[in-house]
Amino acid sequence: MKRRNFLKQSTLASSLVLVPSFVKAFETVAKESFGFKKLVIVQLSGGNDGLNTIVPFTNDLYYKNRPNLFIPKKDLIKATDHLGFHKSLAPLKNLYDQGYLTILNNVGYPNPNRSHFRSTDIWQTASDANEYLSSGWLGRYIDIYGKMPYSGIELDDSLSLILKGETMNGIATKNPKILFGNTQTPYFKKLLNKQSETHLSEHNLGYLYKTMIEASSSAKYIYETSTTFESTFTYPKNPFGEQLKTTAEFINSHLESKVYYVSMGGFDTHANQANKQSSLLQTYSESMEVFIKDLKQNDTFKDTLILTFSEFGRRVKQNAAGGTDHGAANNVFILGQNLKTKGFYNESPDLENLDANGDIVHSIDFRSIYATILDQWLRVNDTKILNKTFSKLDFI
């Protein structure tokens, strides 16, 4: 088949097809053992307002900058003498009380970018602000240590940059049955009949067919393995809850996948922020509490670490529309059973010393969090994956 015809017919991004004479080789590929720890990444897309999430309720500057947007003390759940959780985060506060939560304040990077797309790329690739990378940090992890696409799974219909490697990509799926079913359709079998083993040695098509073989083998493995476990917990009836339920079923069925990526949108609150953020935080915290209960009941929480981030925080000063504009440094949540530093890891945001745009200045580079997780949790060479050396933190 000519390359242009192949590309024209391969309309699905996953490029799934069965290639019987080669699938077995990939299904039985020797797997290196890098432990059984799991990592779940959650992105609060749009830029969550961290200052109204974890509130410095004794800081006068907080109220001065947000005369109509501050969270009243009566609507907070007190955590320390100076900081409180938004009332919608009661389930998350329960996890905090059990010692399962570490909160890192003032997380960001030098010369922050306030574009959703660019800042998300920076967080997903672990690049500098002026550096453009075509592979994600988890994609590079899969390249080196994963060996198969199912080593990394995004709970979505399309794959984000974070799970795209230089030689191998992760798998994107909301439903493993549908993913596997796509490999069984007459359309793809017809396409299969047009290929031959010689394509694997052709420069133009070889890589594409190799990718299809790996992806189709991953689809079969994910589906057949995940059907061995069905969650008995009732998750909130929303897309985020469904993503976490599927993630729990993947983990509890003991898929060999190492990393999972989940996202929840809606946090770009330029106007009418109060009600929007309250609802979103409730969805996040209720879903997360059920997810962790599910893992705990099945004895997998002890081997699972969860990181929640947003591509940036919001400006300290409210705007005229009852919301906040794009900011810089923000808080990051780490959830796990065996955290070394429980509760608040570092100092509260310094509202007296903001940057020129009126944003919180970062004191922790987000890549130090990645480096710590790679080194201390996944037990791999963080410098090799992040392309630079970053200082390690002491939360795990």
**Gap between the Cα atoms of 236 and 280, Å rounded:** 12
Q: Is the pLDDT of residue 178 over 90?
A: no
Tokens linked to 27: 């299904």
Tell me whether residue 393 is in a domain.
no
Mention every residue, 6+ apart, whose C-beta is less than 8 A from residue 198: none
Tokens linked to 315: 């400006």
Mention every residue, 6+ apart, whose C-beta is less than 8 A from residue 260: 38, 39, 40, 41, 152, 153, 154, 155, 247, 250, 251
Tell me whether residue 78 is in a domain.
yes
Quick check: helix, strand or coil at residue 332?
A: strand
> Is there a contact between 220 and 180 (Cβ–Cβ < 8 Å)?
yes
Give the confidence band of 22 by pLDDT, cuts at 50, 70, 90.
very low
Give the confidence band of 148 by pLDDT, cuts at 50, 70, 90.
confident
Q: CA-CA distances (angstroms) from residue 380 to 42, 146, 384?
A: 21, 11, 9
Nearest to 327 by CA among 270, 266, 264: 270
Share of the chain above pLDDT 90, in %: 77
CATH number for 330: 3.40.720
**Gap between the Cα atoms of 262 and 244, Å rounded:** 8
What is the per-residue DSSP string for 18-76? --HHHHHHHHT-------S-EEEEEEETTT--GGGTEEETT-HHHHHH-TTTPPPGGGE
Nearest to 308 by CA among 42, 116, 49, 93: 42
How many separate domains does the chain show? 1
In the beta sheet, which residues pair with residue 365? Answer: 108
Mention every residue, 6+ apart, whose C-beta is less than 8 A from residue 372: 382, 392, 393, 395, 396
Q: Is the pLDDT of residue 83 over 60?
A: yes
- pLDDT attached to residue 186: 72
Q: Is 299 left (phi over 0), alpha (psi -120 to 50) or beta?
A: left
> Is there a contact between 139 and 165 (Cβ–Cβ < 8 Å)?
yes
State pLDDT tens for residues 316-349: 999 999 999 999 999 999 999 999 999 999 999 9
Tell me whether residue 379 is in a domain.
yes
State pLDDT tens for residues 276-297: 999 999 999 999 999 999 999 9
Tokens linked to 233: 């917990």
For the residues 354-375, what does the mean pLDDT come to?
97
- pLDDT attached to residue 11: 34
CA dihedral 396, 145, 167, 384 (to 10 degrees): 60
Tell me whether residue 331 is in a domain.
yes
Does the pTM of the predicted model rise above 0.75?
yes
**Gap between the Cα atoms of 357 and 390, Å rounded:** 27
Where in the sequence is the domain holding 143, given as residue range(s)? 3-386
**Gap between the Cα atoms of 252 and 234, Å rounded:** 16
Tell me whether residue 396 is in a domain.
no
How deeply is 239 buried, as exposed, middle or buried, from its count of CB atoms within 10 A (0-12, 13-18, 19+)?
A: middle
Tell me whether residue 395 is in a domain.
no
CA 147 remoteness from chain centre: 20
- pLDDT attached to residue 218: 83
**Gap between the Cα atoms of 263 and 288, Å rounded:** 12
Tell me whether residue 305 is in a domain.
yes
Give the confidence band of 258 by pLDDT, cuts at 50, 70, 90.
very high
Tell me whether residue 391 is in a domain.
no
**Gap between the Cα atoms of 96 and 260, Å rounded:** 22
